Amino acid sequence: MEQQKRYGHFDDQHREYVITDPQTPWPWINYLGNEDFFSLISNTAGGYSFYKDAKFRRITRYRYNNVPMDNGGRYFYIKDGDTVWNPGWKPCKTPLDFYECRHGMSYTRITGRKDGVEASVLFFVPLKKWCEVQKLTLKNESSAVKKLKLFSFEEWCLWNAATDMENFQRNFSTGEVEIEGSTIYHKTEYRERRNHYAFYHVNAPIQGYDTDRETFVGLYNEFANPDAVMEGKPRNSHAHGWSPIASHYIEVELKPGESKDFVFLLGYIENEQDEKFEAPQVINKKKAHALISELDTTEKVDKAFAELNALWDNLLNIYKVRTGNDKLDRMVNIWNQYQCMVTFNFSRSASFFESGVGRGMGFRDSNQDLVGFVHQIPPRARQRIIDIASTQFPDGGCYHQYQPLTKRGNNDIGGGFNDDPCWLIFGTVAYIKETGDFSILDEMVPFDNQPGSEVTLFEHLKISMDHVIKNLGPHMLPLIGRADWNDCLNLNCFSWDPNESFQTTENVSEGTKAESLMIAGLFVVTGKDYVALCKKTGKDDEAARMQKAVDAMIDAVKKHGWDGEWYLRAYDFYGRKIGSNENDEAKIFIESQGWCTMAEIGAEDGLVAKSLDSCKKYLECEHGMVLNNPAFSKYIYEYGEISSYPEGYKENAGIFCHNNPWVIIGECLAGRGNDAWSHYAKILPSYVEEKYQTLHKVEPYVNCQMVAGKDAFKPGEGKNSWLTGTAAWMWYTVSEFILGIKPDYDGIRIDPCLPETATDYTVQRKFRDADYEITIHPNGAQKGVKKVVLDGSPIEGTVIPYSAGKHVVEVTM
């Protein structure tokens, strides 16, 4: 085992992760912005900004997979005599006397010290404003007067992040800027169809600037040694085509002990078509001036920052636990909830592993993300459900993804993923249980965004269920279509052509017998929810109709979906078993174990317990549970992408963290608290943080999509951090199934499942207009609530009936 170095630590009091060494094993990033304007920022200030859509409205440029890694971002160069340094160490990499990066809730603060000067930059996006604030504080800690030369730096993206990387024959001729006082405006393509521009401003007089990259950097230099900075002389360049940038130059004099603030603003503006220009060729800057004036002093910026912090105080006050276990509490109270907000905002679009150009909002992804987010800002969750449902087709199928800017289904990816429709029920039910807002079911929602096609949201749910029922295979199990949750199990693809996408190619499907046990389990789980919802809303006939379908599915699974020790995974095109002891490789898969145990199919005959035991026996390893076992060692034409990955990575026997919670919930329902906890702790970031910062490689404060599995070259190495359904599922698992605080239509159901070592804990839960303080006394039990006392009086059953106001609840297990 290689030496596990530490690069940082949690600061729970400030809700921050503190990075103390800039050379982390991979860029450790954070997200700024909560609604329209967003930025990604690494621990060395790398990253980029965009408005709403990382593909269509990219504001600053970023080069993925660069050498060196993570080059490009918002950089401050400080020239102090002959020494040039950056507060975040990069890009100059001048050794610093002190370095610290604090990633907090929607903000990042990076501090560097060199030769008696401290430079600290606070980065955040103020609420409801379309800009990133960079408040730089320079302080002279030496006993001599300091004369510093300060250069700022941003590189503009030509808006469409995809063509920005491709269409150089055009791009090198389109770039345009304007300079006015201390503001540099980026207006490429504004002369034609764009109604938006960006600007980079500082609230101080400048002594020079640059807007042309080549002039500023020098064609044969790098960000680490730009010509203008090295010489200490701005060129006052004006970009015409090529690559426009924005760099301010400021001469700063600091007396001993003196400090000065500079507020830099990266802003985005949209104008009405007929108000675009104030004079021929001159952009209308009215809105930019207004935005700047709202944030042009330290006081105004500090106030905006306080508002952001207050938002997070409120959000994180909705569910708060005190267990006495710091590692659990900090994930539940801070980081897991924070990551859920981020996945809700970005789906799988923009991270340091998702380039922001490939993918929009996923139908299944966003529905799952909702479940981690719905308690935070229910009205936004409501709107999201409507947006997602609007991309459905009249037959219940749907676009697999949609673009956040246009909210239109993405034609390039298409549809045909047969698990997709069920997730709409999953998301909607979670929303109603949290809010009690049944009116969402009557909301009129179109198909494929076509005006005039509207039906109620409830109707969308109904056709979602029916889509499964109408697409059953020879074993009466759901046909898989292009793929189910596992995008890489492509049973109708049959591709020998490396130029075909596994995701969108379906070479044969006519006459297919490819069925999915994962969808079967998902259908039973969401079907039970759907039946309960129908009963709740007085639709008894519909409830009875669906109950029949659910029962039939349960029978089909018991009959054709059980392999003896675990649930099968699927049937292939020809109707042959997948995930069976009869197979040479991939005899067992996690997804069907998760969904069929969550559905409790065959629990009465011991199927659930056997399946869970098999997960422990064949899938579990030190770092979590792998997706399948044994891993595929060769490409299987009939299975598609899953077998394209080397052993132990991604969908081929990687620890695909997203699906571990499914099994954990299965364990919880079965009352096996010790097992549930041990699976959970293995992939809980705070536990990994303590042991494996070097090996894990990616950010230790959030979950990543995939950790290399036991068959991989380096088991335990993490990849694809941040944007993963793992966030919502970890939240759902711990908040509802482990700690056992479950929103329900009429109140909160209390049903914890704990390791026998658990001690008393208290959950503070705001729920609709009520505020519950719930203390659980486990008394060594893993499961089973014996007594619930509400405001001093015992109640029947385990559901605390909802009523507004403050309540104290005591639970004895």
Q: C-beta of 685: minimal distance to ligand GLC in Å?
A: 17
Q: According to the binding rule CB under 6 A, does residue 486 interact with ligand GLC? A: yes
Nearer to ligand GLC, 296 or 354 (CB): 354
Q: Write out the two tokens for 583.
A: 């197979």
Q: C-beta of 701: minimal distance to ligand GLC in Å?
A: 20
Angstrom CA distances, 597 to 40, 518, 570, 589, 665, stand at 38, 11, 16, 13, 8
Main-chain dihedrals φ then ψ at residue 650, nearest 5 degrees: 50, -135
* Residues forming beta bridges with residue 77, ordered by sequence position: 151
Strands 799-801 and 196-202: unpaired
Q: Which of residues 123-142 bind ligand GLC (CB under 6 A)?
A: none
Nearer to ligand GLC, 33 or 640 (CB): 640
Q: C-beta of 69: minimal distance to ligand GLC in Å?
A: 22
Q: Is 437 a catalytic residue?
A: no
CA separation for the pair 540, 542 (Å, rounded): 5
> Do the beta carbons of residue 307 and residue 127 sit within 8 Å?
yes
Specify the 3-state DSSP secondary structure of 424. helix
User: Which of 74, 539, 650, 679: binder of ligand GLC (CB under 6 A)?
Assistant: 650
Q: C-beta of 488: minimal distance to ligand GLC in Å?
A: 5
> H or E segment at 116?
none
Q: According to the binding rule CB under 6 A, does residue 216 interact with ligand GLC? A: no
Nearer to ligand GLC, 427 or 752 (CB): 427
Our measurement of the distance from residue 243's CA atom to the centroid of its chain's CA atoms, rounded to an integer in Å, reads 31
Q: According to the binding rule CB under 6 A, does residue 24 interact with ligand GLC? A: no
Looking at 205-213, 359-367, 506-514, 524-532, which segment touches ligand GLC (CB under 6 A)?
A: 359-367
What DSSP character marks residue 208? E
Q: According to the binding rule CB under 6 A, does residue 55 interact with ligand GLC? A: no
User: Which of 503, 629, 660, 733: binder of ligand GLC (CB under 6 A)?
Assistant: 503
> Do the beta carbons of residue 674 and residue 753 sit within 8 Å?
no
Through-space distance between the first and last CA atoms of the chain, rounded to whole angstroms: 42
Q: C-beta of 571: minimal distance to ligand GLC in Å?
A: 19
Q: According to the binding rule CB under 6 A, does residue 362 interact with ligand GLC? A: yes
Looking at 61-69, 479-487, 602-610, 752-760, which segment touches ligand GLC (CB under 6 A)?
A: 479-487
Q: Write out the two tokens for 751.
A: 């049903």
Nearer to ligand GLC, 512 or 703 (CB): 703
Site string for ligand GLC, 723-742 (x = CB under 6 A): -x------------------
CA separation for the pair 743, 433 (Å, rounded): 6
Looking at 120-128, 361-369, 457-465, 804-812, which segment touches ligand GLC (CB under 6 A)?
A: 361-369
Main-chain dihedrals φ then ψ at residue 240, nearest 5 degrees: -130, 100
Looking at 99-107, 232-240, 483-491, 682-690, which segment touches ligand GLC (CB under 6 A)?
A: 483-491
Looking at 274-282, 486-494, 551-559, 787-795, which segment touches ligand GLC (CB under 6 A)?
A: 486-494
Angstrom CA distances, 632 to 41, 645, 663, stand at 37, 8, 22
Catalytic residue among 419, 487, 563, 675: 487
Please state whether the peptide bond connecting residue 68 to the residue before it is cis, i.e. omega within 30 degrees of 0. yes
Site string for ligand GLC, 399-438 (x = CB under 6 A): ----------------------------------------
Strands 805-812 and 770-777: parallel
Size of the site for ligand GLC (CB under 6 A): 14
Nearer to ligand GLC, 92 or 361 (CB): 361
Classify residue 510 as exposed, middle or buried by CB count within 10 Å of its CB (0-12, 13-18, 19+).
exposed
Nearer to ligand GLC, 72 or 362 (CB): 362
Q: Which of residues 702-721 bind ligand GLC (CB under 6 A)?
A: 705
Q: C-beta of 485: minimal distance to ligand GLC in Å?
A: 4
Q: Write out the two tokens for 675.
A: 């097992």
User: Which of 161, 488, 543, 707: binder of ligand GLC (CB under 6 A)?
Assistant: 488
Q: C-beta of 67: minimal distance to ligand GLC in Å?
A: 24
Q: According to the binding rule CB under 6 A, does residue 487 interact with ligand GLC? A: yes
User: Which of 365, 369, 420, 600: binder of ligand GLC (CB under 6 A)?
Assistant: 365
Nearer to ligand GLC, 435 or 495 (CB): 495
Q: According to the binding rule CB under 6 A, does residue 618 interact with ligand GLC? A: no
> Do the beta carbons of residue 593 and residue 612 sit within 8 Å?
yes
At how many degrees (to 10) do helices 336-346 and 298-316 cross? 110
User: Which of 153, 190, 423, 485: binder of ligand GLC (CB under 6 A)?
Assistant: 485
CA separation for the pair 296, 201 (Å, rounded): 9
Count how many residues are written for the chain: 813
* Contacts by 755-759, CB closer than 8 A, 24 or more apart: 755/673, 755/674, 755/676, 755/677, 755/678, 755/782, 756/673, 756/674, 756/780, 756/781, 756/782, 758/323, 758/673, 759/323, 759/324
User: Which of 70, 210, 506, 651: binder of ligand GLC (CB under 6 A)?
Assistant: 651
Which residues make up the interface to ligand GLC (CB under 6 A)? 348, 362, 364-365, 485-488, 503, 641, 650-651, 705, 724
- Enumerate the active-site residues: 487
